[in-house]
């Protein structure tokens, strides 16, 4: 039996995908693994690049963009590894990362999932763990208190900004950019919920794993560089709307309709603050990124009633 099945979902990130695949092949030394690329109908030549340069990779080329959850599930159904790794195409594993993480899971039989330390390209720490979203955490975010008081035990709890990521610990949520999952637990828990097209599917999966009694670990001993948003940089407005639509789905699924309604009200406040008073901040900065953020929140405000 293989030790690890690596699954990479790709959408128009050909060069990043090639680097991601090279990093896997160059750094794995001990474990037996297979690699899947599920391409969501890229138009940049990604499938041809995989066929030409990485013939050992198992390519699933979709004829439409089926979303992140469904694409991962396509490969999970074919995976032969004891563990399954969801790896973003803009995530580049370092030496010993995959070998060590398989060993880590072997040494923690109570672990249903685990994640390693993620870094930005310049070497800075990238926050990659969180608590589950609640009405309190969303209110804190709407009021910007998490940014004002990142070290606070209360205001910094959602994104865990009051922690330096230096110790091994159990957490609620690990980022889907590098999510190592125990293969034999998946049939009992179920695969990723395909109702989530993109975003919150990993939060939902973590929630279901923990409800079933599995622990989720963060391991700081090995690292992966994650660029963040390789396939979504060009669609920031749509990305923001998808992000919050998915979070509304999570509230509705796990907390009920009343909580999801209250969350939408908090989200409306969040968008109003950024479209109204926030316009001074966004529009006076004079750069395209800030103006795009203002546009995104304005369109989010219009979209919320339909969530």
Whole-number Å distance between alpha carbons of 98 and 85: 9
Q: Which residues of 83-120 are buried (b: 16+ CB within 10 A; e: fewer)?
A: bbbbbbbbbbbbebbbbbbbebbeebeebbbbbbbbbe
How far are the Cα atoms of 29, 54, 200 from residue 137, in angstroms, in the given order? 42, 43, 15
pLDDT at residue 229, rounded to an integer? 57
Residues 6 or more apart in contact with residue 21 via CB below 8 angstroms: 8, 35, 37, 50, 53, 54, 57
pLDDT at residue 278, rounded to an integer? 63
CB 41 within 8 Å of CB 62: yes
pLDDT at residue 291, rounded to an integer? 73
pLDDT at residue 74, rounded to an integer? 98
pLDDT at residue 231, rounded to an integer? 45
Helices (H), the chain: 14-27, 46-53, 68-76, 97-107, 135-142, 145-148, 186-189, 201-211, 236-255, 257-275, 278-284, 288-303
Three-state secondary structure call for residue 128: coil
Mean pLDDT by 10 residues, the chain (307 residues): 97 97 97 98 97 98 96 98 98 98 98 97 94 95 90 86 94 97 97 94 97 98 86 63 94 97 95 78 65 83 90
pLDDT at residue 286, rounded to an integer? 61
Whole-number Å distance between alpha carbons of 121 and 257: 40
Whole-number Å distance between alpha carbons of 42 and 306: 28
**131 DSSP assignment:** P
**Domains contained in the chain, CATH given:** 2-128+165-226 (3.90.550.10), 132-162 (no CATH), 233-306 (no CATH)
Whole-number Å distance between alpha carbons of 288 and 263: 30
């Amino acid at each position: 039996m293989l030790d690890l099945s690596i699954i990479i979902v790709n959408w128009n990130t050909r060069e990043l995908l090639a680097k991601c695949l090279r990093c896997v092949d160059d750094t794995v030394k001990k474990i037996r693994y297979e690699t899947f690329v599920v391409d969501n109908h890229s138009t940049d030549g990604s499938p041809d690049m995989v066929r030409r340069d990485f013939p050992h990779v198992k390519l699933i080329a979709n004829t439409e963009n089926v979303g992140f959850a469904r694409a991962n599930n396509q490969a999970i159904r074919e995976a032969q590894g004891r563990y399954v790794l969801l790896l973003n195409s803009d995530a580049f594993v370092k030496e010993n990362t995959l070998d060590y993480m398989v060993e880590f899971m072997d040494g923690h039989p109570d672990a249903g999932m685990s994640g390693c330390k993620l870094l930005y390209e310049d070497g800075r720490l990238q926050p990659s763990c969180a608590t589950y979203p609640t009405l309190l955490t969303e209110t804190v975010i709407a009021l910007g208190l998490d940014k004002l008081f990142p070290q606070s035990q209360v205001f910094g709890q959602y994104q865990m900004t009051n922690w330096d990521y230096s110790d091994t610990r159990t957490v609620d949520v690990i980022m889907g950019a590098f999510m190592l999952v125990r293969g034999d637990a998946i049939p009992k828990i179920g695969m990723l919920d395909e109702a989530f097209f993109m975003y919150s599917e990993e939060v939902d999966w973590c929630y279901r794993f923990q409800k079933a009694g599995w622990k989720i670990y963060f391991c700081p001993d090995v690292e992966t560089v994650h660029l963040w948003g390789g396939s979504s940089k060009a669609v920031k407005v749509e990305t923001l709307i998808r992000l919050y639509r998915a979070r509304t789905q999570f509230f509705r699924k796990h907390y009920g309709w009343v909580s999801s309604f209250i969350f939408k009200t908090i989200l409306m406040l969040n968008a109003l603050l950024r479209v109204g008073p926030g316009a001074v901040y966004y529009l006076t900065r004079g750069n395209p990124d800030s103006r795009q953020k203002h546009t995104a929140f304005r369109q989010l405000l219009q979209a919320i009633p339909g969530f």
